[in-house]
Amino acid sequence: MPSIGEQTPGGRFRRQPGVSGGGSLRYAEFVLLAALVAVPALSRDAFFVDRIGRFLLLAVFALSVDLIWGYGAMFTFGQAAFFGGAGYVAGMLTTREEWILPVPLGVALVAAVAGSALLALAISYFTFSGRGALRGVEFAVVTLAVAVALERLANAGGSITGGQNGILITSRLGPFHRGHSFYLLAAAVVVVTYLGLKRYLRSRPGLVFRGIGQNEERVELLGYDVPRNKRWTFVLSGAIAGLAGALFYVHEGIVSPAAVGVGSSTLVLLWVVLGGRGTLIGPVVGAVALPFLTARLSGTLLDTWLVVVGVILVVVILVIPAGIFGFLAREKTP
């Protein structure tokens, strides 16, 4: 019988497989990710490739939601605050002409990501700390309130936010602003984010965060500092959404109040649900496939495309609540 009371020198903590689900997905997800980012680049249609590049940035936005909701069970209605908020910061810093403004785009992008991270830190300070720490629906309501408040603020911001018209962003992403080069930039961001999150989720704090998503009280009873872990993962999620948002809206050339609102925050949830939360690859596919499908259908089914998209979503949610890749990654009971 083995003994467990004695200490022996052993190997270091090694990274664990299975963050993205069962073995069947372990390699398939990389093949799929590679295909998703490589195949469109072969097209000569610059407009098409540019559009897929936009969807890839939306996929990064979806990954930021999947991190906290899919793995940490922190349901949020306000993730667009970081995504759209970064667009506003980038827009304001590059277009206003006062004080030290405008600043170079690189500085504005860094400031936009930092701004989103700071906003996430501020929200987490009030929601995760102390005896009144919020979970579940309470947390979702707070994020909803943040989204509503920011949308109103953007609307009422006058010359600072551009009011209802938003801000026209005239800066360009240098040689990466359009077509294939923009696509390559977006593909690089999604791949780096994807692999970075995979690595994080297999790390020690990532394992603790996944434990929190499964059973927060058990993690606390084991002695871990749950609020601290949630706070920094939420900040990471905000920064990722901020990076995606800043690039997305600079590429769009305009950011308006809807960018920070509940509508945008809800849309990203649909992509995550469709693809399968807690799988990483699922939200990436959902964020590319659903907007792609929407764009295609809106061109052919002028009046009924929304109904068709709605029916697809309802069927997926009813038949496979775990989403497409959540279903594929499930572990079969022996």
Q: x/- string (CB under 8 A) for another protein, residues 185-214?
A: -------------------x--xx-xx-xx
Decide: is 44 part of the binding site for another protein (CB under 8 A): no
Decide: is 12 part of the binding site for another protein (CB under 8 A): yes
Do 157 and 163 contact (CB within 8 A), yes or no?
yes
Do 277 and 66 contact (CB within 8 A), yes or no?
yes
Decide: is 165 part of the binding site for another protein (CB under 8 A): no
Which of 117, 219, 239, 280 touches another protein by CB under 8 A? Answer: 219
Decide: is 228 part of the binding site for another protein (CB under 8 A): yes
Q: Could you tell me where the beta strands, DSSP code E, fall in the chain?
A: 167-168, 254-255
Burial (CB count within 10 angstroms: exposed 0-12, middle 13-18, buried 19+), residue 311 = exposed
Decide: is 130 part of the binding site for another protein (CB under 8 A): no
Which of 10, 132, 158, 175 touches another protein by CB under 8 A? Answer: 10
Residues 265-304 that bind another protein (CB under 8 A): 278
CB-nearer residue toward another protein: 211 or 257: 211
Q: Which two tokens stand for residue 56?
A: 């890839």
CB of 287: closest distance to another protein in angstroms? 23
- Please report how many Cα atoms fall inside a 13 Å half-sphere around the Cα of residue 287, on the Cβ side: 31
CB neighbours of 181 closer than 8 A, spacing ≥ 6? 175
Do 237 and 63 contact (CB within 8 A), yes or no?
no
Which of 24, 217, 263, 295 touches another protein by CB under 8 A? Answer: 217
Q: Which residue is listed with tokens 């964020």? A: 287
Decide: is 126 part of the binding site for another protein (CB under 8 A): no
Which range of residues in 8-16, 88-96, 97-105, 107-115 is near another protein by CB under 8 A?
8-16
Which of 44, 223, 300, 318 touches another protein by CB under 8 A? Answer: 223
Do 150 and 86 contact (CB within 8 A), yes or no?
no
Decide: is 125 part of the binding site for another protein (CB under 8 A): no
Decide: is 4 part of the binding site for another protein (CB under 8 A): yes
Q: What are phi and psi of 304, to 5 degrees?
A: -115, 5
DSSP state string for 232-247: HHHHHHHHHHHHHHHH
Interacting residue ranges for another protein, rule: CB under 8 A: 1-14, 16-18, 204, 207-208, 210-211, 213-215, 217-226, 228, 278, 331, 333-334
